[in-house]
Amino acid sequence: MKMALIGLGKMGANMARRLLRHGVEVVGHNRSQEIVQQLTKEEGLIPSENTLHAIQQLPSPRIVWLMLPCGAPTENMIQELIPLLDAGDIMIDGGNSNYHDSQRRGAMLAKHDIQYVDSGTSGGIWGLKNGYCLMVGGEKSAISEIEPILKALAPAEDRGWAHVGPIGSGHFTKMIHNGIEYGMMQALSEGLSLLKGKEEFNLDLGQITELWRHGSVVQSWLLDLTAEFLDKDQKLENIEPVVADSGEGRWTVSEAIDQGIPAPVLSLALHMRFASQDTPAYGNRLLAMMRNAFGGHAVQEKE
């Protein structure tokens, strides 16, 4: 199977590596050619000089996977690709796009007989090793065409990926996933802050988080990552307590308002990220390090 992958950032580059190692031919394109050259040399990526060159190297029906920032970068690339694709070709948006945009784009591409798939993609910087969780929306015919790609990216052929519904449902599912993620991170940071605040006990947070990883109700991959960085540094004094939000949490809270469904934990977790920029709390340092641990998101270090 042969496909194009456009957008070789932290996640896109590792997805290309995993696909190539699973026997999928990948034509790669990125605004910066340095990573294209690196992947060509190290993994056997098929390089492309520009978008047109990438499309020209694909058999019909062409399969193009986008891993670009949401908003204008993705929108502009879709507009650029439309005149280069033919009826029956498949376009997949694997970034964190708003599901409303995905629904609109699916309808727009349908007018050109281009099949559209929205894939909520989770796994962060660990996806290369562990595989990616793929929440896929679109027509059944399109999903069937790209199934070998989904199986290569997922943790296993029979798990870690699913066709969850029509166009838009993939990104909607990932949006709610990220909202839950906000709440889980907030709960861990608050609990660990309380442990640290009980100075008379002089608790070892590295020991306790490692303990909780085994047989505890709160055991999770997020706890695994937290235990790992706390084992190296519990004070986190060099980390600024600033926790960014990348958009999905806001969309989740907005959806809760639209549906009239109470979501106090998810809403408060989002507001705590806003508050982090004015609150020098230990919990915010923990949150910043969690985001770095699973997604490679930058942390602000003190000078």
Per-residue pLDDT tens digits for 56-100: 999 999 999 999 999 999 999 999 999 999 999 999 999 999 999
* Cα–Cα distance for residue pair 19/198, rounded to 1 Å: 48
- Could you tell me if 3 and 45 are in contact, meaning their C-beta atoms sit under 8 angstroms apart? no
Residue 300 lies in a domain: no
Q: Is 2 helix (H, G, I), strand (E, B) or coil?
A: strand
With a pLDDT cut of 90, the percent of the chain lying above it is: 76
Q: Domain containing 221 — which CATH number?
A: 1.10.1040.10
User: Does 235 qualify as catalytic in the annotation?
Assistant: no
Work out the mean pLDDT of the chain and round it to a whole number: 92
Higher pLDDT, 34 or 245: 34
Please indicate, yes or no, whether residues 244 and 115 belong to a single structural domain of this protein: no
- Flag whether pLDDT at 297 surpasses 80: no
303 inside domain: no
The label of the residue with tokens 């988080």 reads 209
- The pLDDT assigned to 279 comes to 62
Domain count, the chain: 2
Please indicate, yes or no, whether residues 159 and 200 belong to a single structural domain of this protein. Answer: no
Question: Same domain for 87 and 183?
Answer: no
Residue where one domain finishes, among candidates 166, 190, 225 = 166
Domain that holds residue 212: 175-295
Catalytic residue among 145, 181, 248, 255: 181
pLDDT digits (tens, 9 = 90+) for 2-30: 999 999 999 999 999 999 999 999 999 99
- Tally of helices (H runs) and strands (E runs) in the chain: 13, 8
Shared domain for 7 and 88, answered yes or no, is: yes
Q: Are residues 89 and 220 in the same domain?
A: no
- The reply to whether 218 falls in a domain is yes
pLDDT reading at 302 higher than 80:
no
**pTM for this predicted structure:** 0.88
Q: Which of 10, 129, 151, 174 is catalytic?
A: 174
- What the block records as the tokens of 37 is 């050259």
What is the average per-residue pLDDT within 289-298?
80
Is residue 156 within a helix (H) or strand (E), and if so which, with residue range?
A: none
Residue 301 lies in a domain: no
CB 12, CB 41: distance < 8 Å: no
Based on the residue annotation, tell me whether 174 is a catalytic residue of this protein: yes
Whether 181 and 154 map to the same domain: the answer is no
Same domain, 134 and 16: yes
- Residue 12 and residue 156 in one domain: yes
Same domain, 148 and 246: no
Residue 245: pLDDT over 80: no
**CB contact at 8 A, 202 and 299:** no
